Amino acid sequence: MTVGGNQPPVANTDSATTNEDTAVTIPVATLIANDSDPDGGTLSITSVGGAVNGTVTLSGGNVVFTPALHYSGPASFTYTLSDGQGGTATGTVNINVIAVADTPTLVVQAASPVVVFSNSWETNVNSDNTSTNNAVTTFEGWTRVDAPQTLAGGTNSFEIWTTGDTQARQDGNTNIIVASAGNGEDFLEFNDSSSLIQTIGISRAVTTQAGMVYELSFDYAGRPGYSVDYTRIGIYIDGVQLQQYAATSPQTYIDWKNLKVHFQGDGGTHTILVRTDATVFDANGRGSFIDDIVLTATQGVVAGNAGSLTKVSLASYISSALVDTDGSESLSLTLSGLPSGAVIVTAANPSGYTPVGGWSPFRGRTCFRGTATSVSVQRPSQFGCDRDSDRGVKRQYRDVDRDVRS
């Protein structure tokens, strides 16, 4: 009598499908359903391994295959088939990992305004009922500027007045004066004198940041009764006139006004100069007043920063990237709500793209939406703003006369 030996089982190839970044669970019963054993033995899977483009585990009655992060394409693993009688075979499972576009990243730079400096002359010590002679070269961060001087004989100083002082006006009478509201009781006078103390101008160095707009805000007034030829001031950046302004106060009180001027940061250090630009002078030094000076940095650009155009570097506001970097996906950015006449310029297309579907009206405020999309993405990252929201990018620029610049 001849007794035959145990025959090994036969493992046939299996296949499965899953989406990118999604594990697939395959019951052991499903994998061995197309396998066989010549001797009719009971089949089981004793181990799994050999994973390609992923990982595989045997957990109870299931085999779990997890694709590599962000991978799509062919993958596979093997399993060991046993007949329980010492016979084994190796089976292969081919996995088709279907590509699914990952939601890209979208970062919006929406920096809050930052106060660079502020001062209101409150370190002044009032000694009597007239102006105080602060015979120093620097005061509250400002450096005294003594030129250009038209009248000879004046004493250079920080001439500071205090609420309650008695001050001469143009008609020869006097007023009990009041500083601008909000930040104390002291203010500086710009003037050019031939017999008394005088302050020609003040300067201050500021290190700027590219992509930021700097707003110099201050309260201003002319000495009561004097014409604009006496009260005119100039604001300069590195010696170049940024703005000139003049106003008058009536004989009986100081008529304070808040002025704002803007300049664009470039990463360099620049000198701000504010001085008297009077063309008519009084020997006693009658001019204009300045108080509550604040320099604020805000994300944005100054209108007309590129000659007849206004240039906005979108890279200063938005950045986007693919999560999946294996080359299987592509990225696109969509901007909407652009100002009227806007053109998007890229290195690949320096002549610019004209927005599809026209533009949105522009009324001194810029507010647009952006969408970052990768191929087949279903829920893209977005940013935007609306009439009642400060989200997104919006800036308003005004000149010293407070007329909106377009």
- What percent of the chain is modeled with pLDDT above 70? 86
Range with top average pLDDT, 145-149, 297-301, 361-365? 145-149
Over residues 155-183, the pLDDT tens digits come to 999 999 999 999 999 999 999 999 998 87
| pLDDT band with cut points at 50, 70 and 90 for residue 217 | very high
What are the φ/ψ torsions at residue 302 (nearest 5 degrees)?
Answer: -90, 135
Q: The tokens of 75 are what?
A: 């993958």
| pLDDT band with cut points at 50, 70 and 90 for residue 277 | very high
CB-based contact 205:152 (threshold 8 Å): no
CB-based contact 42:91 (threshold 8 Å): no
State the SS3 of 49-98.
EEEECEEEEEECCEEEEEECCCCCEEEEEEEEEECCCCCEEEEEEEEEEE
So what's the pLDDT on residue 283?
96
So what's the pLDDT on residue 3?
55
240: left (phi over 0), alpha (psi -120 to 50) or beta: beta
Domains and CATH numbers, the chain: 13-98 (2.60.40.10), 114-299 (2.60.120.260)
Compute the 3-state secondary structure of the chain and give helix, strand, coil in percent, each to the nearest 5: 5, 45, 55
More confident residue, 329 or 226: 226
The structure's pTM equals 0.67
CB-based contact 194:151 (threshold 8 Å): yes
Maximum C-alpha span of the chain: 143
So what's the pLDDT on residue 400?
33
Q: DSSP label at 31? A: H
CB-based contact 372:380 (threshold 8 Å): yes
pLDDT at 329 over 90: no
Amino acid at 171: D
86: left (phi over 0), alpha (psi -120 to 50) or beta: left
> β-pairing, 158-162 with 73-82?
unpaired
What are the φ/ψ torsions at residue 278 (nearest 5 degrees)?
Answer: -65, 150
pLDDT at 383 over 90: no
Closest C-alpha to 67, from 107, 136, 26, 18: 18
Q: Please, which contacts does 400-403 make with residues 24 or more away whose CB atoms are closer than 8 Å? A: 400/235, 400/243, 400/244, 400/245, 400/259, 400/260, 400/261, 401/245, 402/259, 402/260
Query: CA 198 to CA 157: how far, in whole Å?
Result: 6
CB-based contact 48:77 (threshold 8 Å): yes
Q: DSSP label at 156? A: E
